Amino acid sequence: MEKIVSDREEKEKSGYRRLFVEIGARIGKSLFFWGMAAILAFSAYTDLVKLGDAVPITAAGEDKRIALTFDDGPHPVYTKMLLEGLAERNVHASFFVIGKNISGREDLIEKMYEGGHLIGNHTFDHVKICDLSGEAACEQIEKTSALIREITGEDTEFVRPPFGEWNKSMECSFQMIPVMWDVDPLDWTTKNQALVKQRILDKVKAGDIILMHDCYESSVTAALEVVDQLLAEGYEFVTVEELILE
Protein backbone atom coordinates (compact mmCIF):
# COMPACT_ATOMS: atom_id res chain seq x y z
CA MET A 1 0.00 0.00 0.00
CA GLU A 2 2.79 2.37 0.85
CA LYS A 3 4.45 1.57 -2.48
CA ILE A 4 1.26 2.44 -4.37
CA VAL A 5 1.01 5.78 -2.54
CA SER A 6 4.69 6.49 -3.21
CA ASP A 7 4.26 5.72 -6.92
CA ARG A 8 1.23 8.00 -7.10
CA GLU A 9 3.09 10.85 -5.40
CA GLU A 10 6.00 10.41 -7.76
CA LYS A 11 3.71 10.55 -10.78
CA GLU A 12 2.06 13.69 -9.40
CA LYS A 13 5.46 15.31 -8.84
CA SER A 14 6.53 14.33 -12.34
CA GLY A 15 3.35 15.81 -13.78
CA TYR A 16 3.89 19.05 -11.91
CA ARG A 17 7.47 19.23 -13.19
CA ARG A 18 6.32 18.74 -16.79
CA LEU A 19 3.64 21.40 -16.29
CA PHE A 20 6.14 23.85 -14.84
CA VAL A 21 8.57 23.15 -17.68
CA GLU A 22 5.84 23.68 -20.27
CA ILE A 23 4.69 26.92 -18.64
CA GLY A 24 8.28 28.14 -18.42
CA ALA A 25 8.84 27.35 -22.10
CA ARG A 26 5.73 29.29 -23.08
CA ILE A 27 6.76 32.24 -20.95
CA GLY A 28 10.23 32.13 -22.48
CA LYS A 29 8.84 32.15 -26.01
CA SER A 30 6.52 35.04 -25.14
CA LEU A 31 9.33 37.06 -23.61
CA PHE A 32 11.51 36.37 -26.65
CA PHE A 33 8.73 37.49 -29.03
CA TRP A 34 8.00 40.72 -27.17
CA GLY A 35 11.70 41.40 -26.74
CA MET A 36 12.27 41.14 -30.49
CA ALA A 37 9.25 43.37 -31.11
CA ALA A 38 10.66 45.99 -28.74
CA ILE A 39 14.05 45.86 -30.46
CA LEU A 40 12.47 46.31 -33.92
CA ALA A 41 10.28 49.17 -32.69
CA PHE A 42 13.26 50.94 -31.15
CA SER A 43 15.25 50.46 -34.35
CA ALA A 44 12.44 51.93 -36.44
CA TYR A 45 12.14 54.89 -34.07
CA THR A 46 15.90 55.51 -34.26
CA ASP A 47 15.78 55.49 -38.07
CA LEU A 48 12.86 57.92 -38.02
CA VAL A 49 14.72 60.31 -35.75
CA LYS A 50 17.75 60.19 -38.02
CA LEU A 51 15.52 60.88 -41.03
CA GLY A 52 13.90 63.78 -39.20
CA ASP A 53 17.32 65.28 -38.53
CA ALA A 54 18.24 65.00 -42.20
CA VAL A 55 15.14 66.54 -43.84
CA PRO A 56 12.06 68.39 -42.62
CA ILE A 57 9.15 66.03 -42.02
CA THR A 58 6.12 67.21 -44.04
CA ALA A 59 2.98 65.58 -45.31
CA ALA A 60 3.58 63.14 -48.13
CA GLY A 61 3.84 65.01 -51.41
CA GLU A 62 3.33 68.39 -49.76
CA ASP A 63 4.15 71.29 -52.06
CA LYS A 64 5.21 74.24 -49.90
CA ARG A 65 4.55 76.92 -52.50
CA ILE A 66 2.82 80.22 -51.79
CA ALA A 67 1.79 83.09 -54.04
CA LEU A 68 2.30 86.60 -52.72
CA THR A 69 0.08 89.12 -54.53
CA PHE A 70 -0.17 92.91 -54.42
CA ASP A 71 -3.09 95.10 -55.51
CA ASP A 72 -3.61 98.79 -56.34
CA GLY A 73 -0.13 99.72 -57.57
CA PRO A 74 2.12 100.76 -58.94
CA HIS A 75 3.03 103.26 -56.23
CA PRO A 76 5.97 105.56 -57.07
CA VAL A 77 7.74 104.96 -53.73
CA TYR A 78 6.54 101.76 -52.09
CA THR A 79 6.31 99.59 -55.19
CA LYS A 80 9.92 100.48 -55.96
CA MET A 81 10.90 99.60 -52.39
CA LEU A 82 9.08 96.28 -52.64
CA LEU A 83 10.64 95.34 -55.98
CA GLU A 84 14.11 95.99 -54.59
CA GLY A 85 13.39 93.89 -51.50
CA LEU A 86 12.04 91.00 -53.54
CA ALA A 87 15.04 91.12 -55.89
CA GLU A 88 17.42 90.89 -52.92
CA ARG A 89 15.60 87.74 -51.80
CA ASN A 90 15.21 86.29 -55.31
CA VAL A 91 11.45 86.06 -54.78
CA HIS A 92 8.75 86.42 -57.43
CA ALA A 93 5.34 87.92 -56.72
CA SER A 94 2.19 88.87 -58.65
CA PHE A 95 1.15 92.49 -59.12
CA PHE A 96 -2.44 93.38 -60.01
CA VAL A 97 -2.10 96.94 -61.21
CA ILE A 98 -4.67 99.69 -61.67
CA GLY A 99 -4.59 101.18 -65.15
CA LYS A 100 -4.88 104.82 -64.09
CA ASN A 101 -1.81 104.38 -61.83
CA ILE A 102 0.47 103.32 -64.68
CA SER A 103 0.94 106.69 -66.39
CA GLY A 104 4.29 108.19 -65.35
CA ARG A 105 5.27 104.93 -63.64
CA GLU A 106 5.96 102.82 -66.68
CA ASP A 107 9.48 102.13 -65.38
CA LEU A 108 7.98 100.20 -62.45
CA ILE A 109 5.96 98.00 -64.82
CA GLU A 110 9.20 97.36 -66.72
CA LYS A 111 10.97 96.39 -63.49
CA MET A 112 8.14 94.00 -62.60
CA TYR A 113 8.40 92.36 -66.01
CA GLU A 114 12.20 92.19 -66.06
CA GLY A 115 12.22 90.85 -62.50
CA GLY A 116 10.12 87.83 -63.48
CA HIS A 117 7.00 88.94 -61.62
CA LEU A 118 3.52 88.34 -62.94
CA ILE A 119 1.66 91.49 -63.97
CA GLY A 120 -2.08 91.17 -63.61
CA ASN A 121 -5.07 93.42 -64.23
CA HIS A 122 -6.99 95.23 -61.48
CA THR A 123 -9.23 97.26 -63.85
CA PHE A 124 -8.54 100.84 -64.90
CA ASP A 125 -10.43 102.74 -62.20
CA HIS A 126 -10.71 100.13 -59.41
CA VAL A 127 -14.44 99.64 -59.89
CA LYS A 128 -16.88 96.86 -59.13
CA ILE A 129 -17.18 94.86 -62.32
CA CYS A 130 -20.63 93.62 -61.37
CA ASP A 131 -21.98 97.19 -61.16
CA LEU A 132 -21.12 97.88 -64.79
CA SER A 133 -22.64 96.87 -68.08
CA GLY A 134 -20.82 94.11 -69.92
CA GLU A 135 -19.33 96.58 -72.37
CA ALA A 136 -18.13 98.98 -69.68
CA ALA A 137 -16.65 96.13 -67.64
CA CYS A 138 -14.71 94.80 -70.61
CA GLU A 139 -13.45 98.31 -71.36
CA GLN A 140 -12.10 98.66 -67.79
CA ILE A 141 -10.00 95.55 -68.24
CA GLU A 142 -8.97 96.12 -71.84
CA LYS A 143 -7.72 99.68 -71.20
CA THR A 144 -5.38 98.41 -68.48
CA SER A 145 -4.24 95.44 -70.56
CA ALA A 146 -3.44 97.76 -73.46
CA LEU A 147 -1.20 99.92 -71.28
CA ILE A 148 0.66 96.88 -69.97
CA ARG A 149 1.01 95.50 -73.49
CA GLU A 150 2.61 98.76 -74.68
CA ILE A 151 5.30 98.40 -72.00
CA THR A 152 5.96 94.65 -71.91
CA GLY A 153 4.80 93.57 -75.36
CA GLU A 154 2.62 90.90 -73.76
CA ASP A 155 -1.05 90.60 -72.88
CA THR A 156 -2.23 90.14 -69.32
CA GLU A 157 -4.01 86.85 -68.69
CA PHE A 158 -4.94 87.21 -65.03
CA VAL A 159 -7.35 89.65 -63.41
CA ARG A 160 -8.02 90.43 -59.76
CA PRO A 161 -11.54 91.90 -59.71
CA PRO A 162 -11.79 94.74 -57.17
CA PHE A 163 -13.67 93.70 -54.02
CA GLY A 164 -13.54 90.10 -55.26
CA GLU A 165 -16.66 90.54 -57.40
CA TRP A 166 -16.39 88.92 -60.81
CA ASN A 167 -19.03 88.64 -63.53
CA LYS A 168 -18.71 85.13 -64.96
CA SER A 169 -21.14 85.93 -67.78
CA MET A 170 -18.95 88.68 -69.26
CA GLU A 171 -18.42 88.26 -72.99
CA CYS A 172 -15.33 90.23 -73.95
CA SER A 173 -13.04 89.90 -76.94
CA PHE A 174 -10.38 88.42 -74.66
CA GLN A 175 -10.15 85.70 -72.05
CA MET A 176 -9.04 86.47 -68.49
CA ILE A 177 -8.47 84.21 -65.50
CA PRO A 178 -9.90 85.71 -62.29
CA VAL A 179 -7.67 85.33 -59.22
CA MET A 180 -9.06 85.55 -55.69
CA TRP A 181 -7.16 84.88 -52.44
CA ASP A 182 -6.90 82.68 -49.35
CA VAL A 183 -5.26 84.96 -46.79
CA ASP A 184 -6.27 88.62 -46.38
CA PRO A 185 -4.51 90.44 -43.51
CA LEU A 186 -6.54 93.60 -44.21
CA ASP A 187 -3.27 95.50 -44.44
CA TRP A 188 -5.06 98.57 -45.78
CA THR A 189 -6.84 99.03 -42.43
CA THR A 190 -3.74 99.50 -40.26
CA LYS A 191 -0.21 100.87 -40.31
CA ASN A 192 0.87 98.34 -37.69
CA GLN A 193 3.27 96.18 -39.71
CA ALA A 194 3.74 93.69 -36.85
CA LEU A 195 -0.01 93.09 -36.77
CA VAL A 196 -0.18 92.61 -40.53
CA LYS A 197 2.70 90.15 -40.39
CA GLN A 198 1.12 88.15 -37.57
CA ARG A 199 -2.26 88.00 -39.31
CA ILE A 200 -0.57 86.33 -42.26
CA LEU A 201 1.63 83.93 -40.32
CA ASP A 202 -1.31 82.82 -38.17
CA LYS A 203 -3.29 81.62 -41.21
CA VAL A 204 -1.00 80.90 -44.13
CA LYS A 205 -0.35 77.37 -45.33
CA ALA A 206 1.07 75.68 -48.40
CA GLY A 207 -0.83 76.46 -51.58
CA ASP A 208 -2.28 79.75 -50.34
CA ILE A 209 -2.58 83.05 -52.19
CA ILE A 210 -1.84 86.04 -49.96
CA LEU A 211 -3.54 89.37 -50.67
CA MET A 212 -1.62 92.57 -49.88
CA HIS A 213 -1.23 96.10 -51.25
CA ASP A 214 1.98 97.76 -52.42
CA CYS A 215 0.74 101.31 -51.80
CA TYR A 216 1.51 101.36 -48.05
CA GLU A 217 4.95 101.40 -46.44
CA SER A 218 3.75 99.24 -43.53
CA SER A 219 2.42 96.63 -45.97
CA VAL A 220 5.68 96.47 -47.91
CA THR A 221 7.76 96.15 -44.74
CA ALA A 222 5.44 93.47 -43.34
CA ALA A 223 5.50 91.58 -46.65
CA LEU A 224 9.28 91.39 -46.72
CA GLU A 225 9.38 90.21 -43.11
CA VAL A 226 6.83 87.50 -43.95
CA VAL A 227 8.97 86.45 -46.90
CA ASP A 228 12.05 86.14 -44.70
CA GLN A 229 10.29 84.00 -42.11
CA LEU A 230 8.52 81.70 -44.54
CA LEU A 231 11.66 81.20 -46.61
CA ALA A 232 13.40 80.13 -43.41
CA GLU A 233 10.58 77.61 -42.86
CA GLY A 234 11.13 76.05 -46.27
CA TYR A 235 8.39 77.74 -48.26
CA GLU A 236 8.79 78.80 -51.88
CA PHE A 237 7.22 81.92 -53.36
CA VAL A 238 5.83 81.61 -56.88
CA THR A 239 3.53 83.62 -59.16
CA VAL A 240 -0.19 82.86 -59.27
CA GLU A 241 0.33 81.40 -62.73
CA GLU A 242 2.80 78.85 -61.39
CA LEU A 243 0.56 78.07 -58.41
CA ILE A 244 -2.70 77.73 -60.37
CA LEU A 245 -1.64 76.26 -63.70
CA GLU A 246 1.38 74.07 -62.92
Of 111, 203, 122, 199, the C-alpha closest to 159 is 122
Q: Which residues contact 205 (CB under 8 A, 6 or more apart)?
A: none
Out of 71, 72, 187, 214, the active site residue is 71
Query: Cα separation of 199 and 217, whole Å?
Result: 17
Whether 122 is catalytic is no
**Is residue 213 annotated as part of the catalytic site, yes or no?**
yes
Q: Which of 75, 92, 117, 213 is catalytic?
A: 213
112-150 residues labelled b (16+ CB within 10 A) or e (exposed): bbebebbbbbbbbeebbbeebeeeebbebbbbbbebbee
Backbone angles phi, psi at 93, to 5 degrees: -130, 180
The residues assigned a catalytic role are 71, 213
